[in-house]
């Protein structure tokens, strides 16, 4: 481990012990962050001594970068706070990986989490701005939800990863009514099955269309009701 | 009074029907003349916009966005370039920002003119439709003067514009605004306070606040339900925070807040606000500045994703762009405002008479090109 990293860890541990957990969570590097958290736990248990606070640190250039961008900083703080609340309430279901305003959630309890996100008085995510699906490769599909609270005016992006072989995610159609059509569209385009959706069928394509067009390995069907399906022209720049 | 149940009937409105404003099929289940359920079927205009985008470069996406909502192509361009500039961290100069705002607001007026005119037409008033189109024509002339196209402009580019505005554009626009302002009053007088139109639209198809928010309804439709929410003010993009304008909301002047009349009237009020914005933007527009100054040589955004929203005449237009660092989008999703507005149809139109369905559909101001993408 480089000396700089050691210094950073020592500094963050000290900050964390003094009650400033936000700056620990703001640390971008996941490895460093987990090391810091583990160290704090050990110190609290008493199995480790508190490291010395290093003098003058690498985060000074960061601060000069941030001048004049105070707005960005506060929104980041808020999304960090929301993330922490989620981590505290659903520790097994959420995953703190992911940067700038998005976080990964495991699919099993998504409906509970969604209901909680909408009803928790300090969050009140009452509008689902956008829901989209994406084929991220390596046999993984992602469903992403852009949430927004009209009351508190804050945002959160939730991402759920599922394997292609078992592309099932609980439907939140009854939490945000617009999810009804959004989920139908994602089902139509990527074949993610939303479990519990009351009317899950294709929305933009005909009912008897074959395949999921927005998957990266999609192959057009040869004919559709006797009509030859035109192929993508090759050699386009 | 109990409802007398008659024979149930299933009716298809569309796909080819003048009142559906495009190719949309509404499967209406009726009980006598009362509508009990509406199931919209769309996709007749589906062109795989999102799949196309994964096969063309970022620059080439812009003409496709034009064709999504062909009644407000400028706003569609605007949303896309705002998202791309946020992803690539490009700052455009003042002149470009001002021209963009002027174009977007002119487009808003053109779109609202068509919407209000057609709304009258749906309810049987023919003359105001012709008046509205006459004035819209002058805006299209201004656009043609600027970029040569009347409907699909490909005008806003990532980092700038395709052309600078021509000599004399500012004067012509001021001239148009002077001509147009009294025309709004005229349109309001003949339509908004017309006895027949009020009878057909007031208290009809009421959309309460919470329903609107849950269904993701945005733009004038949401504001008509009494929610003061406008991205130009609430999540200010471009330079909208510098201009003074109000956000008109539905007040239920002729009936209940959130009825068809409110949705129609909010659009009339918004045209006045747009005129205000255009006047301010034209007055403060810097005389010099190269509109090609910040155009990137090659558009290659860094790895990452962005979700940016802008306020189009129909509501929040969102672009979700996922980039893998190549010149071709990895995934591009358009969150279409008309798509969400149409989804509320079953909720607010069930229980009304069959003739009211067309009034409600007209008041939502949908464009099928954008719903089907």
Which residues in chain B (324-363) have CB-CB distances under 8 A to chain A? 330-331, 333, 335, 339-340, 343, 347
Instruction: Give yes or no: residues A76 and A63 share one domain.
Output: no
Cα gap A83→A76, rounded to integer Å: 10
Distance from CA of A216 to the nearest CA of B (A): 10
Distance from CA of B305 to the nearest CA of A (A): 10
Question: Quick check: is A177 in a domain?
Answer: yes
pLDDT at A90 over 90: no
Q: Per the structure, how many domains does chain A have?
A: 2
Instruction: Specify burial of residue A137 (Cβ count, 10 A radius: 0-12, 13-18, 19+).
Output: exposed
- Cβ atoms of B314 and B108 closer than 8 Å: no
Q: Quick one: DSSP state of residue B332?
A: E
- Cβ atoms of B28 and B35 closer than 8 Å: yes
B51 to chain A: which residues are within 8 Å by CB?
213-214
Cα gap B34→B4, rounded to integer Å: 10
Predicted pLDDT at A69: 34
Distances in whole angstroms, Cα of residue A77 to Cα of each of A19, A23, B214, B372: 16, 9, 27, 38
Distances in whole angstroms, Cα of residue A171 to Cα of each of B200, B274, B336: 38, 40, 21
Cross-chain residue pair B51–A214, CB shorter than 8 Å: yes
Number of CB pairs < 8 Å for A and B?
Answer: 71
pLDDT at A93 over 70: no
Instruction: Give yes or no: residues A62 and A98 share one domain.
Output: no
pLDDT at B61 over 60: yes
Instruction: Give yes or no: residues A103 and A191 share one domain.
Output: yes
Instruction: Give yes or no: residues A81 and A182 share one domain.
Output: yes
Distance from CA of B331 to the nearest CA of A (A): 7
Least confident of A44-53, A134-143, B210-219, B316-325: A44-53
Predicted pLDDT at A66: 35
| Residue B160 neighbours by CB under 8 Å, 6+ apart | B92, B96, B291, B292, B293, B294, B295
State what percent of residues in chain B have pLDDT above 70: 98
Predicted pLDDT at A65: 35
Its domain, for residue A148, covers: 70-226
| A15-23 LR contacts (CB < 8 Å, sep 24+) | A16/A40, A17/A43, A17/A44, A17/A50, A21/A84, A22/A77, A22/A80, A22/A81
User: At which of A27, A52, A67 does a domain end?
Assistant: A67
Class of domain B8-372: mainly alpha
Instruction: Give yes or no: residues A82 and A136 share one domain.
Output: yes
User: At which of A16, A40, A67 does a domain end?
Assistant: A67
User: At which of A25, A42, A67 does a domain end?
Assistant: A67
Which tokens hold the place of B7? 């024979």
- Cβ atoms of A139 and A163 closer than 8 Å: yes
Instruction: Give yes or no: residues A144 and A58 share one domain.
Output: no
pLDDT, tens digit, 9 for 90 and up, residues B126-139: 888 999 999 999 99
Give the dihedral sign, CA B214/B218/B224/B230.
Answer: positive
Cα gap B140→B149, rounded to integer Å: 8
A183 to chain B: which residues are within 8 Å by CB?
none
pLDDT, tens digit, 9 for 90 and up, residues B168-194: 899 999 999 999 999 999 888 888 888
Instruction: Give yes or no: residues A47 and A162 share one domain.
Output: no
pLDDT, tens digit, 9 for 90 and up, residues B209-239: 888 888 889 889 999 988 888 888 888 788 8
| Residue B56 neighbours by CB under 8 Å, 6+ apart | B64, B328
Least confident of A108-122, B238-252, B270-284: A108-122
B333 to chain A: which residues are within 8 Å by CB?
130, 132
Q: Give the DSSP per-residue string, B147-200.
A: HS-SS----EETTEESSPPPTTHHHHHHHHHHHHHHHHHHHIIIIIT-HHHHHH
State what percent of residues in chain A have pLDDT above 70: 74
Residue A21 neighbours by CB distance under 10 Å: 17
- Residue in B253, B248, B254, B251 with CA at minimum distance from that of residue B266: B248
Predicted pLDDT at B175: 92
pLDDT, tens digit, 9 for 90 and up, residues A139-168: 888 898 888 888 887 888 888 888 888 888
- Nearest chain A residue to B216, by CA: A178
B50 to chain A: which residues are within 8 Å by CB?
189, 214
Predicted pLDDT at A12: 79
pLDDT at A63 over 80: no
Per the rule left: phi > 0, alpha: psi between -120 and 50, beta: everything else, A147 is beta
Among B42, B60, B209, B213, most A C-beta atoms within 10 A, so best to mutate, is B213
B302 to chain A: which residues are within 8 Å by CB?
none
Average pLDDT, chain B: 87
Cross-chain residue pair A214–B43, CB shorter than 8 Å: no
Cross-chain residue pair A127–B213, CB shorter than 8 Å: yes
Distances in whole angstroms, Cα of residue B317 to Cα of each of A195, B110, B200, B218: 28, 18, 30, 9
Closest CB to B309 among A129, A177, A189: A129
pLDDT, tens digit, 9 for 90 and up, residues B281-308: 999 988 887 888 888 888 888 888 888 8
Instruction: Give yes or no: residues A55 and A85 share one domain.
Output: no
Query: Per DSSP, what are the bridge partners of residue B310?
Result: B317
Report the relative pairing of strands A102-105 and A155-163 from DSSP bridges.
parallel
Among A189, A203, A209, most B C-beta atoms within 10 A, so best to mutate, is A203
> Mean pLDDT throughout B83-102?
89
Instruction: Give yes or no: residues A133 and A21 share one domain.
Output: no
ipTM of this predicted structure? 0.86
State what percent of residues in chain B have pLDDT above 90: 21
Cross-chain residue pair A213–B229, CB shorter than 8 Å: no
Confidence category of residue A53, pLDDT binned at 50, 70, 90: low
- Cβ atoms of B214 and A178 closer than 8 Å: yes
CATH of the domain at A119: 3.30.460.80
Predicted pLDDT at A173: 86
Which residues in chain A (139-198) have CB-CB distances under 8 A to chain B? 144, 146, 150, 153, 157, 176-178, 180-181, 189
Instruction: Give yes or no: residues A27 and A112 share one domain.
Output: no
Which tokens hold the place of B370? 């954008």
B372 to chain A: which residues are within 8 Å by CB?
204
Cβ of residue B372 closer than 8 Å to a chain A Cβ: yes
Cα gap A196→A172, rounded to integer Å: 8
Question: Quick check: is A111 in a domain?
Answer: yes
Predicted pLDDT at A55: 54
> Mean pLDDT throughout A73-92?
66
Cross-chain residue pair A204–B372, CB shorter than 8 Å: yes
Predicted pLDDT at A233: 62
A176 to chain B: which residues are within 8 Å by CB?
214, 216
Instruction: Give yes or no: residues A31 and A140 share one domain.
Output: no
Among A124, A152, A204, most B C-beta atoms within 10 A, so best to mutate, is A204
Cβ of residue B318 closer than 8 Å to a chain A Cβ: yes
Query: Per DSSP, what are the bridge partners of residue B25?
Result: B41
Least confident of A35-39, A94-98, B192-196, B312-316: A94-98
Q: Give the DSSP per-residue string, A137-149.
A: ETTEEEEEEEEE-
- Residue in B176, B142, B175, B170 with CA at minimum distance from that of residue B74: B142
- Nearest chain A residue to B215, by CA: A178
Domain ranges of chain B: 8-372
User: Phi, psi at residue B370, to the nearest 5°?
Assistant: -90, -30
| Residue B108 neighbours by CB under 8 Å, 6+ apart | B72, B75, B270, B271, B274, B312, B313
- Residue in B213, B84, B80, B335 with CA at minimum distance from that of residue A145: B335
Instruction: Give yes or no: residues A30 and A98 share one domain.
Output: no
B343 to chain A: which residues are within 8 Å by CB?
177-178, 180-181
- Nearest chain A residue to B53, by CA: A214
E strands along chain B, which residues? 8-13, 16-17, 22-23, 25-31, 34-41, 156-157, 160-161, 304-312, 315-323, 331-335
Cross-chain residue pair A157–B307, CB shorter than 8 Å: yes
């Amino acid at each position: 481990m480089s000396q700089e990293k050691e210094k950073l860890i020592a500094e963050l541990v000290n900050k964390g012990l003094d009650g400033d957990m936000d700056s620990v969570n703001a640390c971008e590097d996941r490895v460093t962050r987990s090391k810091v958290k583990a160290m704090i736990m050990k110190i609290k248990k008493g199995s480790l001594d508190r490291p010395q606070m290093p003098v003058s640190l690498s985060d000074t250039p960061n601060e000069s970068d941030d001048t004049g961008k105070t707005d960005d900083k506060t929104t980041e703080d808020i999304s960090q706070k929301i993330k922490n609340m989620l981590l505290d309430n659903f520790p097994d279901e959420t995953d703190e990986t992911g940067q700038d305003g998005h976080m990964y959630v495991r699919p099993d309890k998504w409906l509970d989490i969604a209901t909680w996100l909408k009803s928790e008085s300090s969050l009140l995510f009452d509008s689902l701005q956008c829901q989209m699906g994406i084929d991220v490769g390596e046999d993984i599909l992602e469903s992403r939800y852009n949430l927004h609270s009209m009351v508190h005016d804050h945002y959160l992006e939730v991402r759920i990863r599922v394997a292609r072989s078992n592309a099932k995610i609980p439907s939140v159609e009854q939490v945000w009514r617009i999810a009804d059509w959004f989920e139908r569209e994602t089902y139509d385009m990527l074949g993610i099955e939303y479990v519990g959706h009351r009317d899950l069928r294709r929305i933009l394509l005909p009912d008897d269309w074959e395949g999921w067009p927005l998957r990266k390995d999609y192959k057009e069907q040869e004919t559709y009701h006797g009509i030859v399906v035109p192929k993508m022209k090759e050699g386009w720049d | 009074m109990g409802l007398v149940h008659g024979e149930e009937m299933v009716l298809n409105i569309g796909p080819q029907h003048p009142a559906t404003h495009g190719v949309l099929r509404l499967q209406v289940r009726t009980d006598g003349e009362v509508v009990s359920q509406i199931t919209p079927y769309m996709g007749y205009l589906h062109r795989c916009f999102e799949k196309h985008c994964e096969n063309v470069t970022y620059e080439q996406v812009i003409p496709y966005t034009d064709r999504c909502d062909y009644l407000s192509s400028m706003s569609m361009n605007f949303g896309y370039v705002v998202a791309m500039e946020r992803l690539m961290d490009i700052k455009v100069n003042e002149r470009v920002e001002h021209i963009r705002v002027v174009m977007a607001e002119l487009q808003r007026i053109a779109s609202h003119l068509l919407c209000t005119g057609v709304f009258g037409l749906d309810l049987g008033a023919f003359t105001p439709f012709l008046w509205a189109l006459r004035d819209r024509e002058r805006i299209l002339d201004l656009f043609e003067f600027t970029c040569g196209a009347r409907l699909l402009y490909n005008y806003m580019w990532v980092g700038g514009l395709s052309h600078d505005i021509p000599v004399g554009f500012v004067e012509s626009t001021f001239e148009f605004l002077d001509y147009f302002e009294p025309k709004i009053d005229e349109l309001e007088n003949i339509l908004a306070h017309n006895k027949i139109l009020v009878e057909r639209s007031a208290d009809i198809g009421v959309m309460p606040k919470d329903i609107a928010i849950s269904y993701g309804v945005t733009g004038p439709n949401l504001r008509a339900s009494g929610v003061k929410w406008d991205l130009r003010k609430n999540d200010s993009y471009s330079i909208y925070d510098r201009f003074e304008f109000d956000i008109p909301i539905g007040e239920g002047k002729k009936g209940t807040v959130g009825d068809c009349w409110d949705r129609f009237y909010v659009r009339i009020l918004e045209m006045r606000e747009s005129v205000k914005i255009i006047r301010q933007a034209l007055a403060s527009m810097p005389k010099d500045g190269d509109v090609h100054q910040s155009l990137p040589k090659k558009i290659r955004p860094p790895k990452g994703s962005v979700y940016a929203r802008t306020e189009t005449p129909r509501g929040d237009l969102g672009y979700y762009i996922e980039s893998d660092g190549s010149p071709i989008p990895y995934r591009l999703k358009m969150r279409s405002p008309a798509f969400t507005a149409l989804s509320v149809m079953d909720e607010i139109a069930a229980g009304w008479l069959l003739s009211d369905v067309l009034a409600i559909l007209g008041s939502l101001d949908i464009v099928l090109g954008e719903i089907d993408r």
